[in-house]
Amino acid sequence: MSLTINNLSKTYPNGVKALKNLSLSIGNSMFGLVGPNGAGKSSLMRTIATLQDPDSGTINLDGIDVLRQKDAVRRILGYLPQEFGVYPKLSALDMLHHLAVLKGMTVSSERKEMIDTLLQQTNLWDVRKKALSTFSGGMKQRFGIAQALLGNPRLIIVDEPTAGLDPAERNRFLNLLSSLGSDRTVILSTHIVDDVRQLCPRMAIIASGELLLEGAPSDTLAALNGKIWSKVIATDNEVRSFETQLHVISTHLVGGQHEIRVYADSSPGNGFRVVDSGLEDVYFLNLSQQSKRQPAN
């Protein structure tokens, strides 16, 4: 399974340029799409999922023209949007049967076997007869994955799936996603960098509708070895001073003080120590470099 996106652009009627000549190649594995809120991730996911058309560009899925052969795409697609609606009074079991029929699964015995398997896989079997309105946030997300897996799709898209989950539910959900990515293409769109670090052999960073980086997380980390420097400082004024002098990529509070992380080929000054780079450093570095390229208003 391969998904090839070429020169995709989308501008909404209000003038927002959601996608800007974006090109991307995604293979048969779990692929992380990372970016801040408003980066264009959801616009890209909706376009791949045939829910909206771009202004220009092409998308090819294993020989299927996604923009022209939408029905063919939908037959092999599982989609969990950032927000999805359900009938709150229906049970998980009844809702899955309803959605399965809509997907064309008309043989009742086959439908029952698949739904029972999905309820077990998503750890919802014991609550299958409870109304969806009683589900916690994590249970609703696991139900979302169950409905996305109806029909055994070859391409699965999940958009911001762990937002709002508590740590235990988030961990359960990530383990579930990990189990899906071994034999199909799974696109995980998120602004939580750590989710991608845990799950995805390849990733891309987008911001303001543009592709900033594409590659393996391990390769992007290796490129920063020896180039991330850290220093803990006490005041906001010091932070602002360093930001005018150095390439500060992020700041964090540590015990009430500011830890600044700086990108530099050699020591940026007294008190700085070189530290191991993390995927968040890759993320913030690319965002800062894009910001420096943006023309001033």
pTM of the model: 0.85
In the chain, domain spans: 3-216, 222-293
pLDDT in tens, the chain (297 residues): 789 999 999 999 999 999 999 999 998 889 999 988 889 999 999 999 999 999 999 999 999 999 999 999 998 999 998 877 778 899 999 999 999 998 888 899 999 999 999 999 888 999 999 999 999 888 888 899 899 999 889 999 998 888 778 888 888 888 888 887 667 899 999 888 888 888 899 999 999 999 999 999 989 989 999 999 999 998 888 899 999 999 999 998 888 889 999 999 999 999 999 999 999 999 999 998 887 766 554
Q: How far is CA 247 from CA 115, 261, 275, 289, in A?
A: 52, 9, 15, 9
**Topology of 3-216 in CATH?**
Rossmann fold (3.40.50)
**For residue 193, what are its two tokens?**
């960098």
**For residue 240, what are its two tokens?**
């602002």
Q: Are 207 and 36 in contact (CB under 8 A)?
A: yes
Rounded to the nearest 10 degrees, what angle do helices 108-121 and 137-148 cross at? 140
**For residue 166, what are its two tokens?**
């508590």
The DSSP call for residue 40 is S
Give the per-residue pLDDT at 210.
Answer: 94
SS3 88: coil
The β-bridge relationship of strands 64-65 and 257-263 is: unpaired
Q: How far apart are CA 186 and CA 269, in angstroms?
A: 44
